[in-house]
Structure 1
Amino acid sequence: MSHRRFRPVSAHVFAIVLCAAALHAGWNALVRVGLDRLLAVTLIQVGAGILALVMLPTVSVPVAAAWPWLLLSAVLHVGYNVFLARAYASGDFGQVYPIARGSAPLIVALVGLMALWDQPSLTGYVGVMLLTGGIWWMAVRGAGSKNLPRAGLTSALVTSAFIASYTLSDGLGARANHDAIGYVFWLFALNGLCMGLLLWAMRGRQTLAAIAGHYRVGLLGGAMSMAAYGATIWAMSQAPIALVAALRESSVLFALAISSLFLGERLSRQRLVVGVIILCGVALLRLG
């Protein structure tokens, strides 16, 4: 089997993935809505599921080749949501978010090279390494002197593994379906249903009533989540999965801006330096 090569990421794909990264950071910030982390994550995913369900009549049923990936991804997204909630419950947002996001692109790039024959250029891989290294530096050194508890670190790393897994699954599923947007609507409808049922099983029906009081936040966060991931999945059908996955992790920069401008967190000089490193990685991805 020969390696499949794509052209460098085009300007419009690049811009769309950056918008997706900003939206992703935004909905993660909404997890701080005031509910406990599992409730907040479920609230947003159920909101996305409701919006996706409304949109299902506008798209076709996924083709047979896409269903194994779709079902696998629905399971992986549930695992991601559960461990993301655990990570946020154990550690600070400023460290958990970059660790969870920063490890995934490297995993995706390595698997994509070894198993999927989806090979970016050397420049693209240097960009992946810079972006991943910068995010990890920010996670370890950029959030002050407070150490991340072992439980938080473990949950963040498991979250990252789920991110890498569903990124690969969805990239392949969207390509198999030949309709990325339709694939995303079905995925979010399934994910919202699964998360709602899981919360019901874990905490009882009354908990669903509790999150209903925050439905506006759920719908807003759900719309942001679905738009962000829909744009990413579409981009994966246009460019190497590894490059799109890494570029999407520039969401850490948007998370920094949100934390500084809206959450009152201090933006240190070290975080700015790491931000420049991340931007260099993003630039190389654009060129590669």
Structure 2
Amino acid sequence: MSDWLISMEGTAAGHHLAMVLALFAALLHAVFGAIQKGRHDPWLTRGAVDVWLVVLAAPFALFVVPWPEPHMWPLFAGAVVIHVIYKVFQAQAYSKGAYTVVYPVVRGTGPLFAVIGAYLIFGEVFTLIQWLGVAVLLAGIFGLAVYNLVFLIIDRDTLPVALGLAVMTGLLVAFYTTYDAYAIRSTANPFTFLAWFFMFEGMTMPWVAAWRWRRMPVRPDLRPLATRGLIGAVVALMSFGSIMLATRLDKVGEAAVLRETSVVFAALIGWLVLHETVGPRRIALMVLIALGAVIVEMGG
């Protein structure tokens, strides 16, 4: 399968597959955000997810995919550090603010800086029409965040802190998207990067989650937490794997922008599953986000 994927790099078929993978990653990323924001403490959920990431990724890393080239080990180390910082900020943001407030800000900050990073590192250039699409998409995302900031009545006391954390998390999203795209392009087999990355990254947060669980006055039952962690790990593997393969097949900037349609999926999940309020104005802003992504894709 890896040979087939590599053969599609830079082709029209590879471009179309990258688009599908980026949109699939958007849907799954919204699902993952809802899983982490659910009824369990987000730190515990993240730890449970990471335990399962190690369990699921280790057999592939050790026995299935080719061994990483020597130059990949420093890249793995850098990726793990970046993702640990990102997860800390993300968990803090979800702890302080409502999902439909935090998530749009996180996802809105990321694509603009990811496009800039793709230009600086990979020499990717957007057309004027694509930049218009980015502007439309960002207008919808940040419009959604401003609307939530003005009208949402829950978590008002912690909302400014939550928004600040969300902006920092979005910057880290752009950083890891560009960095990981460079890393996955640096190895002959893209699945080597994915398997080893998930195994290494999954070793970090379980220790934090275990420490936090022991200090809780009322400790939640581990069985439902483990179940949620398994579901989250499968979603994370598919979501992150999809967007990384998309960046290997085609432009990093386009994949990053298309992934931010996850805000639309997130709002629907927040409404249907988490029972958060979604009115006609926010629906209009979500349509604006989707329109921006379409403009970016059609303007390429």
**Residues 99 and 139 of structure 1 are in contact (CA less than 8 Å); yes or no, is this contact kept in structure 2?**
yes
Match of 1:245 in 2: 256
Q: 1:41 aligns with which of 21, 40, 46?
A: 46
Structure-1-length-normalised TM-score: 0.89
Give the aligned residue type for 1:90: K
Q: 2:123 aligns with which of 117, 120, 129?
A: 117
Choose 217-226 or 50-59, whichever is displaced more: 50-59
Deviation at 1:89, TM superposition (A): 0.9
**Residues 28 and 239 of structure 2 are in contact (CA less than 8 Å); yes or no, is this contact kept in structure 1?**
yes
| Residue 280 of structure 2 is aligned to residue 274 of structure 1 | no
| Structure 2: tracts of 5 or more residues without a match | 1-9
Distance 1:68 1:153, change over 3 A: same
Match of 1:32 in 2: 37
Deviation at 1:44, TM superposition (A): 1.8
Distance 1:123 1:181, change over 3 A: farther
Deviation at 1:110, TM superposition (A): 1.4
**Residues 28 and 238 of structure 2 are in contact (CA less than 8 Å); yes or no, is this contact kept in structure 1?**
yes
Choose 62-71 or 35-44, whichever is displaced more: 62-71
Deviation at 1:210, TM superposition (A): 6.0
| Residue 25 of structure 2 is aligned to residue 20 of structure 1 | yes
Choose 52-61 or 169-178, whichever is displaced more: 52-61
Spell out structure 1 runs of 4+ moving beyond 4 A. 6-9, 204-207, 209-212
| Residue 202 of structure 2 is aligned to residue 192 of structure 1 | yes
Structure-2-length-normalised TM-score: 0.86
| Cα deviation 1:22-67 (Å, max 9, x = unaligned) | 1111111111342212112222232223211132221112223333
**Residues 51 and 219 of structure 1 are in contact (CA less than 8 Å); yes or no, is this contact kept in structure 2?**
no
**Residues 180 and 230 of structure 1 are in contact (CA less than 8 Å); yes or no, is this contact kept in structure 2?**
no
Match of 1:54 in 2: 59
**Residues 114 and 178 of structure 2 are in contact (CA less than 8 Å); yes or no, is this contact kept in structure 1?**
yes
Give the aligned residue type for 2:249: Q
Whole-angstrom distance in 2 between the partners of 1:263 and 1:210? 20
**Residues 20 and 228 of structure 1 are in contact (CA less than 8 Å); yes or no, is this contact kept in structure 2?**
yes
Deviation at 1:205, TM superposition (A): 6.8
**Residues 21 and 245 of structure 2 are in contact (CA less than 8 Å); yes or no, is this contact kept in structure 1?**
no
Deviation at 1:132, TM superposition (A): 2.1
Give the aligned residue type for 2:162: G
Q: How many residues align?
A: 281
Whole-angstrom distance in 2 between the partners of 1:129 and 1:68? 36
Give the aligned residue type for 2:100: G
Whole-angstrom distance in 2 between the partners of 1:159 and 1:110? 17
Q: 1:149 aligns with which of 159, 172, 195?
A: 159
Deviation at 1:150, TM superposition (A): 2.3
Match of 1:128 in 2: 134
**Residues 18 and 247 of structure 2 are in contact (CA less than 8 Å); yes or no, is this contact kept in structure 1?**
no
Distance 1:178 1:286, change over 3 A: farther
**Residues 45 and 228 of structure 2 are in contact (CA less than 8 Å); yes or no, is this contact kept in structure 1?**
no
**Residues 83 and 176 of structure 2 are in contact (CA less than 8 Å); yes or no, is this contact kept in structure 1?**
yes
Deviation at 1:253, TM superposition (A): 0.6
Whole-angstrom distance in 2 between the partners of 1:220 and 1:81? 18
Choose 185-194 or 37-46, whichever is displaced more: 37-46
Whole-angstrom distance in 1 between the partners of 2:41 and 2:213? 15
Deviation at 1:115, TM superposition (A): 4.1
Distance 1:72 1:274, change over 3 A: same
Whole-angstrom distance in 2 between the partners of 1:261 and 1:199? 28
Match of 1:3 in 2: none
